[in-house]
Amino acid sequence: MVLQARRADDPMLEHERDCFVAATGLDRDSFDWRNVVDGVPALSEVAAADALLIGGSGHYSVARPDAPFFDPLAELLRGVCASRHPTFGSCFGYQLLVAALGGAVAPDPAGGEVGSFQVNLTDDGRTDPILGALPPVFTAQMGHLDRAVELPAGVANLAASERCPYQALRIDGAPIWATQFHPELDQEANLHRYLAYIERYRPEGAGVDDGFPSGPSPETSTLLPRFLDGVATGAVR
């Protein structure tokens, strides 16, 4: 199951689905797509899926949770964590998990990361069964103007960047990971998304190509397949 939070007129709704299909190598029919704008699924529905993936958000912010789906979604994610259901969240999904479990997310447009940025594994990250397969320093695709400023108790910080000290997490004792960066995006897909949201992301007075560092991120493209393979084989517990 993939959770999205996107308006019906957001062109990135279908683009995001295409990216998850490409990143995982699975057939499109393998996915149960759920847009929480239309309703938050029950915990029993999530439990019926092999794994849960949580995608991004075009017009919604965890730092400003004013949409009606935020409270039931937070309750669902607390249930997912309590039941230890295999889960991987990216960007908005990362921030949702942080906030739902008692951490804090705040706006930080000055420190936002939009484009391709260098990320460093922490000591916990280097020994993690999923992120630990990455090199100590790698490039990741980013697209966020909010960030976690405090992690919940029992949550390991697995990675950090120069602008953002909290870039990846694992729920202690559970097969639940999330990254502030987008492992489902490659360089081209991230540029496509940037152009779709350019009026929001582009610094005032900047040109189309200004303020968007761009580069390949081959290492992070391995994360979702590694996670799902671990779920399928039982290696991820």
Residue 205 has pLDDT above 70, yes or no: no
CATH number at residue 204: 3.40.50.880
Catalytic residue among 91, 113, 144, 164: 91
Q: Is 19 labeled as catalytic in the residue annotation?
A: no
Our answer to whether residue 91 is catalytic in this structure is yes
pLDDT band at 201 (very low <50, low <70, confident <90, very high): confident
Q: What integer pLDDT is reported at residue 200 of this predicted model?
A: 79
User: Is the CB of residue 92 less than 8 Å from the CB of residue 180?
Assistant: no
Count the alpha carbons within 13 Å of 191 in the hemisphere toward its beta carbon: 11
In this predicted structure, the answer to whether residue 202 has a pLDDT above a threshold of 80 is no
Question: What total of structural domains would you count in the chain?
Answer: 1
pLDDT digits (tens, 9 = 90+) for 104-148: 999 999 899 999 999 999 999 999 999 999 999 999 999 999 999
CA neighbours closer than 13 Å in the CB half-sphere of residue 77: 29
Catalytic residue among 81, 113, 164, 182: 182
Write the pLDDT tens digit of every residue in 140-149.
999 999 999 9
Show the domain range for 6.
2-233
DSSP per residue over 9-71, as a string?
A: T-THHHHHHHHHHHHHT--GGG--EEEGGG-PPPHHHHHTSS-EEEEEESS-BTTB--STTHH
The candidate with the shortest Cα–Cα distance to 88, out of 117, 139, 131, 125, is 131
Res. 204: pLDDT tops 80: no
At 53-92, the pLDDT tens digits run: 999 898 999 999 999 999 999 999 999 999 999 999 999 9
pLDDT of residue 150: 98
Are 180 and 168 spatial neighbours (Cβ–Cβ below 8 Å)? yes
